[in-house]
Amino acid sequence: MKLIALPAFSDNYIWLLHDDHHALVVDPGEGAPVRQWLQQHPHVQLDTILVTHHHADHTGGVADLVSATQARVLAPAMEPLPLASTGVQEGDLIDWHGLNLKVLDVPGHTAGHVAFWGQPAGQDPVLFCGDTLFSGGCGRLFEGTPAQMLDSLDRLAALPGDTRVCCAHEYTLSNLKFALAVDPDNTALQAYARSCHALRDQGLPTLPVALSTEQAINPFLRSRSPSVATAVKNRDAQALDDIATFAALRAWKNEFR
Ligand SMILES: [Zn+2]
Ligand SMILES: [Zn+2]
């Protein structure tokens, strides 16, 4: 299986997985980048579209691609969606040409957000996590609570460390600026920031990223670590438990420039 990040809008990625015959895409906010790729690979048939949540930058291209390809659409059962789809939720398994994709409910950014995890034969696993987990950060809490988001991130963090995390936005450098303000002595974070700057300087994506890297550098996966929890508490003395600490960390990021 080959994994490709198709850039869309200013900072979205539409993830495309293919086996030289069939393709699936995740969160096509616009159809054109996918149609263009399909034109360049005429022997590959798009047959499946996965959607993580209802926001337009993740769904805007679905109708266009369905009318061009008749692909099936699998989307969160608990989200209000402006398109015809088969609803999926926690516990569902999607069989795609021998690859089993597990559906995980990860509410927080939106109320019914889902993620998809699977392991192609002989390869590291992949995680399509939409706007829940970003490299060095996490999604804004538009519809869910801090407790829900912390629980969702805990569940993603418990996946195998070699999982390739496929986030829907290239937010890495701005997230790392914040992460370094929170956790300045984290040497893994410092080294990761240098490598991401080098990639962006060459116009390359920073994604996918190994989950084990995120576990070492992402303050939103490390809000219980002494260094992150202390930094949050120094700023907000009310951050006395895990959920309050996570909430204060997310609020700090919202204000951070
Ligand atoms: Zn979103
Ligand atoms: Zn988005």
Cα dihedral across residues 256, 7, 190, 118: positive or negative: positive
Choice among 27, 105, 131, 183 that is catalytic: 131
> Is-catalytic flag, 55?
yes
Element (H, E) at 25: strand 22-26
Q: Convert the pLDDT of each residue in 123-139 to its tens digit.
A: 999 999 999 999 999 99
Kindly give the distance from the C-alpha atom of residue 159 to the centroid of ligand 1, in angstroms, as a whole number.
22
pLDDT of 82 > 90? The answer is no
> Is-catalytic flag, 21?
no
- The 3-class secondary structure across 126-176, one letter per residue, is EEEEECCEECCEECCCCCCCHHHHHHHHHHHHCCCCCCEEEECECCHHHHH
> Is-catalytic flag, 53?
yes
Q: Convert the pLDDT of each residue in 65-79 to its tens digit.
A: 999 999 999 999 999
**CA of 55, nearest ligand number:** 1
Q: What is the pLDDT of residue 83?
A: 87
Confidence of residue 165 (pLDDT cuts 50, 70, 90): very high
Q: What is the pLDDT of residue 117?
A: 98
Kindly give the distance from the C-alpha atom of residue 185 to the centroid of ligand 1, in angstroms, as a whole number.
31
pLDDT of 190 > 90? The answer is yes
Q: Can you tell me the mean pLDDT for 93-115?
A: 98
At residue 118, φ and ψ (nearest 5 deg) are: -160, 165
Choice among 18, 27, 54, 109 that is catalytic: 109
Q: What is the pLDDT of residue 199?
A: 98
**CA of 57, nearest ligand number:** 2
**CA of 167, nearest ligand number:** 2
> Is-catalytic flag, 109?
yes
